[in-house]
Amino acid sequence: MAKVCQITGRKRMKGNNVAHSKLRTKRDFSLNLKTKRFWSEEEQRFITLKVSAKGMRIIEKNGLEATLREAQKKGLVNLV
Protein backbone atom coordinates (compact mmCIF):
# COMPACT_ATOMS: atom_id res chain seq x y z
CA MET A 1 0.00 0.00 0.00
CA ALA A 2 1.17 3.52 -0.74
CA LYS A 3 2.20 6.03 1.90
CA VAL A 4 -1.25 7.58 2.24
CA CYS A 5 -3.24 8.27 5.40
CA GLN A 6 -6.47 6.26 5.32
CA ILE A 7 -8.35 8.93 7.28
CA THR A 8 -7.20 12.28 5.89
CA GLY A 9 -6.02 11.16 2.44
CA ARG A 10 -2.76 13.08 2.83
CA LYS A 11 0.22 11.95 0.72
CA ARG A 12 3.89 12.79 0.80
CA MET A 13 4.81 16.10 -0.80
CA LYS A 14 7.64 16.93 -3.18
CA GLY A 15 9.93 19.88 -2.61
CA ASN A 16 13.49 21.14 -2.76
CA ASN A 17 16.50 21.13 -0.47
CA VAL A 18 17.97 24.61 -0.78
CA ALA A 19 21.67 24.98 -0.07
CA HIS A 20 23.34 28.16 1.10
CA SER A 21 24.46 28.73 -2.52
CA LYS A 22 20.77 28.50 -3.59
CA LEU A 23 21.46 25.16 -5.31
CA ARG A 24 18.23 23.15 -5.33
CA THR A 25 17.87 19.37 -5.22
CA LYS A 26 14.62 17.40 -5.09
CA ARG A 27 13.40 15.83 -1.85
CA ASP A 28 10.27 14.27 -0.32
CA PHE A 29 8.39 15.49 2.72
CA SER A 30 7.15 12.25 4.31
CA LEU A 31 4.10 11.86 6.52
CA ASN A 32 4.19 10.77 10.12
CA LEU A 33 2.41 7.47 9.30
CA LYS A 34 1.83 4.72 11.81
CA THR A 35 0.08 1.38 11.51
CA LYS A 36 -2.35 1.41 14.40
CA ARG A 37 -5.08 -0.89 15.71
CA PHE A 38 -8.30 0.73 16.87
CA TRP A 39 -10.99 -1.08 18.88
CA SER A 40 -14.40 -0.83 17.23
CA GLU A 41 -17.06 -1.00 19.92
CA GLU A 42 -19.76 -1.35 17.25
CA GLU A 43 -18.20 -4.42 15.60
CA GLN A 44 -16.44 -5.78 18.73
CA ARG A 45 -13.11 -6.18 16.88
CA PHE A 46 -9.85 -4.41 16.17
CA ILE A 47 -9.50 -2.44 12.94
CA THR A 48 -5.97 -1.84 11.64
CA LEU A 49 -5.40 1.43 9.80
CA LYS A 50 -2.39 3.24 8.35
CA VAL A 51 -2.93 6.65 9.93
CA SER A 52 -1.00 9.90 10.23
CA ALA A 53 -0.66 11.71 13.54
CA LYS A 54 -3.32 14.19 12.39
CA GLY A 55 -5.62 11.29 11.51
CA MET A 56 -5.24 9.91 15.04
CA ARG A 57 -6.26 13.29 16.46
CA ILE A 58 -9.32 13.35 14.19
CA ILE A 59 -10.33 9.87 15.39
CA GLU A 60 -9.83 11.00 18.99
CA LYS A 61 -12.01 14.06 18.42
CA ASN A 62 -14.89 12.64 16.32
CA GLY A 63 -14.86 8.96 17.30
CA LEU A 64 -13.84 5.93 15.25
CA GLU A 65 -17.22 5.03 13.73
CA ALA A 66 -18.04 8.55 12.48
CA THR A 67 -14.53 9.03 11.11
CA LEU A 68 -14.61 5.70 9.26
CA ARG A 69 -17.98 6.56 7.70
CA GLU A 70 -16.55 9.86 6.42
CA ALA A 71 -13.42 8.12 5.06
CA GLN A 72 -15.58 5.52 3.27
CA LYS A 73 -17.65 8.28 1.63
CA LYS A 74 -14.41 9.85 0.36
CA GLY A 75 -13.18 6.43 -0.86
CA LEU A 76 -10.09 6.42 1.37
CA VAL A 77 -10.82 3.25 3.32
CA ASN A 78 -12.60 0.06 2.28
CA LEU A 79 -13.78 -2.04 5.23
CA VAL A 80 -15.79 -5.22 4.90
According to CATH, the topology of domain 13-74 is Ribosomal Protein L24e; Chain: T; (2.30.170)
pLDDT digits 0-9 by tens, 13-31 = 999 999 999 999 999 999 9
pLDDT at 4 over 60: yes
Instruction: Tell if the pTM clears 0.85, that is, is over it.
Output: no
pLDDT digits 0-9 by tens, 33-43 = 999 999 999 99
pLDDT digits 0-9 by tens, 41-73 = 999 999 999 999 999 999 999 999 999 999 999
Q: Which residues pair with 42 in a beta bridge?
A: none
Check if the beta carbon of residue 5 is closer than 8 Å to that of residue 56.
no
Could you give the CA distance from residue 8 to residue 61 in angstroms, rounded to a whole number? 14
The continuous run of DSSP H or E covering 69 comes out as helix 64-74
Check if the beta carbon of residue 48 is closer than 8 Å to that of residue 35.
yes
